[in-house]
């Protein structure tokens, strides 16, 4: 499937014909191209538009670019073959798209970062070394690590000290190539009970203690709306340590405009602060199939329509 060869669906396309960049693949010969790029680097995940272009990562990248998006992300990038990682990196470079954070290590049901276990340290260092190889193949700038669950039998400050030591060791390795490692605070009320890292202030404190340029935060606004709210205030207070954003509305964790978060104002604020990084669309769709994919693009056009 070639770039710029995506077509309006006869029904959904007519309903959204006034929206720049809302394209559909394929049943007639009329070609429609998108030229309107989004102001910020919203990054759909590879597979988000499978109803239009299937599951092939390269076809997804081309479709995403044709909709005016300036980035993609792939949580499972490290699990792809080296050959596919190189193909992804080459296609992104050709189209001028950025690549958002991929998961270096995450286990939401295990105690690891809060422990002083030397086997955990060895595993995390090995994963970070592996992440550097992914970086070489793809050009990705950011990897993601989560902290796992807390230990009910250990003093909280000792657990924090262990997390700091593990992150410092991983960042020393990541710093060899300039890879950033972002920690992700997650909510425990809805999705991930017993997790150690839940708040932005807690993440910033760890970053300050680690004291390494590779140690950053991914601000997942869906999780933080649930945990503590005050999204813009916390963005400002943690600004120097934010390496990426995750997007998802609440409740429901679907595309912007489906919940209570005022993403139009938040994105304007982020834009005015000069942010040039990736904002990963880490959420589901409120509708199924092609209709849902077109609705998602329409939603991002709405929240990107702030005045500059």
- What is the 3-class SS of 104-159, one letter each residue? EECCCCCECCCCCCHHHHHHHHHHHHHHHHHHHHHCCCEEEECCEECCCCCCHHHH
pLDDT at position 188 = 92
Mean pLDDT computed over every residue of the chain: 91
Catalytic residue among 91, 180, 184, 293: 184
Q: What is the pLDDT of residue 48?
A: 97
pLDDT surpassing 60 at residue 21: no
181-204 pLDDT per residue, tens:
999 999 999 989 999 999 999 999
What does the alpha-carbon distance between residue 117 and residue 119 come to, in Å, rounded to a whole number? Answer: 5
Supply the pLDDT for residue 31.
Answer: 38
Contact 221, 245 (CB under 8 A): yes
What the block records as the tokens of 123 is 């595993």
Is a pLDDT exceeding 90 seen at residue 1? no
Would you state the pLDDT for residue 35? 60
Q: Specify whether 180 is catalytic.
A: no
Claim: this prediction has a pTM higher than 0.85? yes
Catalytic residue among 91, 180, 255, 282: 282
pLDDT average, residue stretch 215-231: 97
Give residue 62's pLDDT: 97
SS3 content of the chain, % helix, strand, coil (to 5): 40, 15, 45
The DSSP H or E segment spanning 278 is strand 278-281
Span 151-158, average pLDDT: 98
Percent of the chain past pLDDT 90, that is, above it, reads 88
Q: Say what the pLDDT of residue 170 is.
A: 98
CA atoms within 13 A on the CB side of 174: 26
Q: Average the pLDDT over 119-124 and give the result.
A: 98
Residue 5's pLDDT band, with cuts at 50, 70 and 90, is very low
pLDDT in tens, 73-99: 999 999 999 999 999 999 999 999 999
- Cα dihedral 158, 161, 163, 166, rounded to 10, equals -130
Neighbours of 267 (CB within 10 A): 24
**What is the band of 34 on the pLDDT scale with cuts at 50, 70, 90?**
low
User: Is 60 exceeded by the pLDDT of residue 268?
Assistant: yes
Measured between alpha carbons, how far is 84 from 80 in angstroms, rounded to an integer? 6
Beta strands in 8-154 (DSSP E): 41-43, 71-72, 98-99, 102-105, 142-145
As a whole number, mean pLDDT of residues 153-165 equals: 98
Average the pLDDT over each of 14-23, 37-46, 214-223 and give the range with the smallest value. 14-23
Q: Which two tokens stand for residue 151?
A: 């230990």
Give the SS3 label for residue 183: strand
7 or 62: which carries more pLDDT confidence?
Answer: 62
**Residue 159 CB partners (closer than 8 Å, separation 6+):** 114, 150, 151, 196
Confidence of residue 214 (pLDDT cuts 50, 70, 90): very high
| pLDDT beyond 70 at 32 | no
Under the banding of pLDDT at 50, 70 and 90, the label for residue 60 is very high
Domains, in order of start, for the chain: 37-303 (3.20.20.150)
């Amino acid at each position: 499937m070639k770039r710029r060869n995506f077509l309006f669906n006869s029904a959904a396309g007519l309903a959204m014909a006034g929206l720049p960049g809302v394209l559909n693949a394929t049943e007639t010969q009329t070609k429609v191209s998108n030229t309107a790029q989004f102001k910020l680097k919203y990054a759909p995940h590879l597979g988000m538009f499978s109803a239009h272009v299937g599951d092939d990562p390269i076809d997804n990248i081309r479709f995403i670019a044709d909709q005016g998006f300036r980035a993609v992300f792939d949580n499972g990038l490290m699990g792809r073959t080296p050959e596919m990682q190189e193909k992804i990196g080459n296609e992104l470079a050709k189209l001028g798209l950025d690549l958002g954070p991929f998961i270096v290590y995450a286990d939401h049901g295990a105690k690891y970062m809060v422990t002083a276990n030397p086997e955990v340290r060895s595993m995390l260092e090995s994963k970070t070394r592996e992440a550097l190889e992914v970086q070489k193949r793809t050009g990705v700038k950011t990897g993601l690590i989560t902290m796992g669950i807390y230990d009910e039998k250990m003093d909280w400050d000792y657990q924090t000290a262990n997390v700091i030591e593990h992150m410092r060791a991983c960042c020393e390795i990541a710093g060899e190539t300039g890879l950033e490692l972002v920690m992700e605070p997650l909510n425990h009320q809805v999705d991930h009970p017993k997790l150690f890292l839940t708040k932005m202030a807690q993440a910033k404190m760890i970053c300050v203690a680690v004291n390494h340029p590779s140690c950053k935060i991914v601000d997942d606004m869906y999780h933080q709306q649930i945990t503590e709210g005050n999204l813009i205030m916390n963005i400002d207070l943690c600004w120097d340590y934010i390496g990426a954003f995750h997007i998802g509305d609440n409740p429901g964790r679907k595309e912007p405009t489906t919940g209570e978060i005022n993403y139009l104002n938040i994105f304007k604020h982020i834009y005015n602060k000069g942010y040039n990084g990736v904002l990963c669309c880490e959420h589901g769709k409120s509708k199924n199939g092609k209709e849902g994919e077109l609705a998602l693009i329409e939603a991002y056009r709405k929240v990107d329509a702030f005045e500059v």
